Chain A
Amino acid sequence: MKSTTQYARSYRDVQTHKLPTVALIGNPNVGKTSVFNALTGSHQKVGNWPGVTVEKKEGRFTYEGQQVAMVDLPGLYSLSPYSLDERIARSFISQEQPGAVVVIVDASNLERNMYLVFELMEMGVNLVVDLNFMDEAKERGIEVNSKELSRFLGVPVVETVAFRRQGIDELKKAIVESLQAPRRPRTFPFPEKMEKFLQQTEKLIEDSCHHDIQTSSCFACGECAAPNHPVIGFPVRWVAIKLLEGDLEVNGNLLSSLPEENREVFAGHLRSLRQAVQAEYQEEPEIVVAEERYAVIHGFVKEFFHSRSTVSRRMKLTDRLDRYFCHRYLGLPIFLLLMWLTFQVTFFLGEFFEESIEGAFEVMGEAVITFFGGVGIPWLGSLLGEGVLGGIGAILVFLPNIFILFLMISILEDSGYLSRGAFVMDRLMHAIGLHGKSFIPMLLGFGCSVPGVMACRTLESERDRKLTLLVVPLMSCSARLPIFLLFTSLFFSRYQGTILFTLYLVGIISAITVAWVLRKTLFKGEVAPLIMELPIYRIPSPKNVLSESWRKSYLFLRKAGTIIFLVVVLVWLFASLPVGVEYASIDSLMGKLGEFFAPLFRPLGFGFWQASVALIFGTVAKEVVVGTLGTLFGGEAGLTEALSAYFTPVSAFSFMVFSLLYIPCVATLAAIKREAGWKWVGFAMVYLTALAYLVSLAVFQIGRLLFG
């Protein structure tokens, strides 16, 4: 007889014809993403936005006719309920109950990696162990006998080098086989002293359950042999371990499963057991369990893996590189230099492509207008030529820049340098009230605020997390780049690079100031300390890097093709109505709307209606600012002349600063809502707009005094 949860699950599967789901789990830096990519290839669905492994990534593969859905869980060291990542993973396994769980293990660092494996075995999940980085392990002289290991753990074990796609077919085979014939992993005894406590706890659970005569499916009743706890749906032993550890979630679930009159007695017994552990070891029970688990693993690893413990070539190289990259004085200058180079390359290389794209759209726009003018439907020519091609073209010009920026970030990430950035920046981040890890969301924010906001999940403390996600929108994302490139090329052509750098700096300094102020006011308290693993340096795989940056750029393109397209058409409509007005004139609906807001922006130096309209529509997506200006001033060519007439260098700079700092795009607000709730969306909108207004005001007024 099946336990209730198992029954419910298979019933649901039949109902919805769902594919069997397999979860992918593992420590950070074990090559989980490359295993996932190698397994699922191009059949992936990554939420809606680009980012590292923070969103729920889903994919599928087919092996010998069997389709399997894969879910990539966040990287974690253990299944304790402390960080958001750990909670996400644990609740996925306990609630979604995947058909199998693949745990990726860094074969060159077994002892630490086995911790998670053992925790999963305790949960009794249908497990497949993937020993990845076999090449590195061999180089370090670690010999692994995967057949023996498999027999010993009671689960299938596969060897891979996912980076080079070695062993992927075997992994697929093992996954499909384990789905067809699920196995329960072996139960490992803890050291004697601990085992005694565990057995007492197990007995306590069984006894208390036995008292509950109402539950006919109770495992202790003798009718059923399922070793799972009937309510919690996991092995009784796992429940016992969690209770001893003092796991609040399991404790709560178990207590509520008991009849009310038994609860107090049960809690009392458990309390005295935990006190006995504490007295025996002179340490908190949770730590005792973790240490004892390690003791088991240590013995096991020693028995099974014969390591000559040599230092591999890559480790030596890593040591040598870290001596410079993480040097107490050199580290920061090197980091800043690399960042500066990243932006230089982005803009220098991007420029090559810009002109040709710009030219192509101009020619197309003119051709379309001439053609439709010739056939007698000039309004359609205007919509397509001026509206659509003008607006979209103004954005697409910047695709090369965006692609190159994502490419550079991917290279830094893949090589292992990015986490050194967090290391080097920790001291500075700490000083302004942020966490070293906050730097990664902020860096991602330069690409797109959405993955930046999502990456805040890796921060364990809620205060650090909220604070970081509130300042991420201040990091100038790639969507703001079109605005800056347009204005700097017109007004600051000689110092384009410097002005761009200054704008990014304005964003960074604002983020620092805001973080500092918020830490002193709303988010009082200490920053959580930094603990982070730094991966070994690797030469980035061109395929990985290119496909990642293409994927992210494609999302930008898709956005250009959908949301931005719609907004651009809307702008054109607003600019053409009411019927008969001159296109994009002050008499159009658009002109009226802009005119209403324009006076507000006069003190900032751009108090004309076109700028207000562009900023209003820019809240949908910041690329739209350029798109709208493009539409309002009739495409690329007209834009250049018109802007030169309307803006001065000072007001152009003020406009760029305002666009940089004011309300982020709708997608970012949605991400903030998901991570922190509506309250913080409101807070972000108000504070960002106020900040943008004040800084731009200062820029324009002071600039006017200085430069006339």
Chain B
Amino acid sequence: MHQGRKDIAPDKAFPLTMASPGTYEVADLRGGREFTGKLLSMGVQAGKRLELITTGGCGPLMVNVEGSRIALGRGIAHRILVRNELSRRNSA
């Protein structure tokens, strides 16, 4: 399977909207408390493994977090920072 973007430095975090389908690690949530709270209650949290299923062109994205799939509007996806999961494995 696709393993994220290779042209980005391993531990650099980037917005989910820039990612191509593959598996990532959530690096940070950049938003107000309502935004973060909502994502947290749905299980999206820094350090979690996240699989991007479809990038959706200019529509919403679909991700898989712990077996549940969640649709995310682009505005939201842009504020979820992820990093390549590879980097975590390498450093571990």
Contact between A426 and B60, CB atoms less than 8 A apart: yes
Tell me whether A82 and B34 are in contact in the complex, defined as CB-CB below 8 angstroms, given that A109-B66, A294-B40, A426-B60 are known contacts. Answer: yes
Q: Encode A402-429 as 1/0 by CB contact (under 8 A) with B.
A: 0000000000000000010011101100
Q: Report the minimal beta-carbon distance from B26 to chain A, rounded to whole angstroms.
A: 12
- A329 vs B57: C-alpha distance in the bound complex, in angstroms? 8
- A78 vs B36: C-alpha distance in the bound complex, in angstroms? 12
User: Taking chain B's interface residues, is the majority helix, strand, or loop, or is none over half, making it mixed?
Assistant: mixed
Partner of B38, one of A108, A109, A436, A531: A531
At the interface, yes or no: A570 with Cβ under 8 Å from chain B? no
Q: Encode B30-61 as 1/0 by CB contact (under 8 A) with A.
A: 00011011111111010000000111111110
Contact between A82 and B37, CB atoms less than 8 A apart: yes
Q: Which of A320-328, A558-566, A667-675 contacts B (4 or more CB under 8 A)?
A: A320-328
Contact between B45 and A530, CB atoms less than 8 A apart: no
At the interface, yes or no: A148 with Cβ under 8 Å from chain B? no
Q: Which residues of B contact A533 (CB under 8 A)?
A: 42, 68-71
Q: Which residues of A contact B65 (CB under 8 A)?
A: 112
Contact between B55 and A532, CB atoms less than 8 A apart: no
Q: Which residues of A contact B68 (CB under 8 A)?
A: 29, 106, 109, 112, 533
Contact between B71 and A328, CB atoms less than 8 A apart: no
Q: Which residue of A lies closest to B53 (CB)?
A: A322
At the interface, yes or no: B16 with Cβ under 8 Å from chain A? no
Contact between A532 and B62, CB atoms less than 8 A apart: no
At the interface, yes or no: B72 with Cβ under 8 Å from chain A? yes
Contact between A78 and B37, CB atoms less than 8 A apart: yes
Contact between A326 and B70, CB atoms less than 8 A apart: no
Q: Which residues of B contact A140 (CB under 8 A)?
A: 67
Instruction: Give the residues from 52 to 91 in chain B that come closer than 8 angstroms, CB to CB, to chain A.
Output: 53-60, 62, 65-76
Tell me whether A77 and B41 are in contact in the complex, defined as CB-CB below 8 angstroms, given that A315-B67, A530-B76 are known contacts. Answer: yes
Tell me whether A530 and B71 are in contact in the complex, defined as CB-CB below 8 angstroms, given that A77-B42, A426-B60, A427-B60 are known contacts. Answer: yes
At the interface, yes or no: A111 with Cβ under 8 Å from chain B? yes
Q: Which residues of A contact B72 (CB under 8 A)?
A: 529-531
Q: Which residues of A contact B74 (CB under 8 A)?
A: 529
At the interface, yes or no: A698 with Cβ under 8 Å from chain B? no
- A181 vs B9: C-alpha distance in the bound complex, in angstroms? 59
Q: Which residues of A contact B57 (CB under 8 A)?
A: 328-329, 427
Q: Which residues of A contact B75 (CB under 8 A)?
A: 526, 529
Q: Which residue of B lies closest to A78 (CB)?
A: B41
Contact between A426 and B62, CB atoms less than 8 A apart: no
Q: Which residues of B contact A29 (CB under 8 A)?
A: 68
At the interface, yes or no: A276 with Cβ under 8 Å from chain B? no
- A327 vs B55: C-alpha distance in the bound complex, in angstroms? 9
Tell me whether A423 and B71 are in contact in the complex, defined as CB-CB below 8 angstroms, given that A287-B40, A322-B53 are known contacts. Answer: yes
Q: Which residues of B contact A77 (CB under 8 A)?
A: 38, 41-42
Q: Report the minimal beta-carbon distance from A370 to chain B, rounded to whole angstroms.
A: 62
Q: Which residue of A lies closest to B77 (CB)?
A: A529
Q: Report the minimal beta-carbon distance from A696 to chain B, rounded to whole angstroms.
A: 35
Contact between A328 and B55, CB atoms less than 8 A apart: yes
Contact between B37 and A286, CB atoms less than 8 A apart: yes
- A424 vs B60: C-alpha distance in the bound complex, in angstroms? 8
Contact between A423 and B62, CB atoms less than 8 A apart: yes
Contact between A532 and B33, CB atoms less than 8 A apart: no
At the interface, yes or no: A217 with Cβ under 8 Å from chain B? no
- A399 vs B35: C-alpha distance in the bound complex, in angstroms? 45
Contact between B69 and A322, CB atoms less than 8 A apart: yes
Q: Which residue of A lies closest to B51 (CB)?
A: A319
Contact between A422 and B42, CB atoms less than 8 A apart: no
Q: Which residues of A contact B34 (CB under 8 A)?
A: 82
Q: Which residues of B contact A111 (CB under 8 A)?
A: 43, 66
Partner of A108, one of B36, B37, B42, B67: B67
* 4 tightest A-B CB contacts, nearest first: A427-B59, A530-B73, A112-B43, A78-B41
B-binding residues in A (CB < 8 A): 29, 77-78, 80, 82, 106, 108-109, 111-112, 115-116, 140, 284, 286-287, 290-291, 294, 315, 318-319, 322-323, 326-329, 419, 422-424, 426-427, 430, 436, 526, 529-534, 536
28 contacts between A and B (CB under 8 A): A29-B68, A80-B38, A82-B37, A108-B67, A111-B66, A112-B41, A286-B37, A287-B36, A287-B40, A290-B36, A290-B40, A319-B53, A322-B62, A326-B62, A423-B60, A426-B71, A427-B56, A427-B57, A436-B60, A526-B75, A529-B73, A529-B76, A530-B60, A530-B72, A530-B73, A530-B76, A533-B42, A533-B71
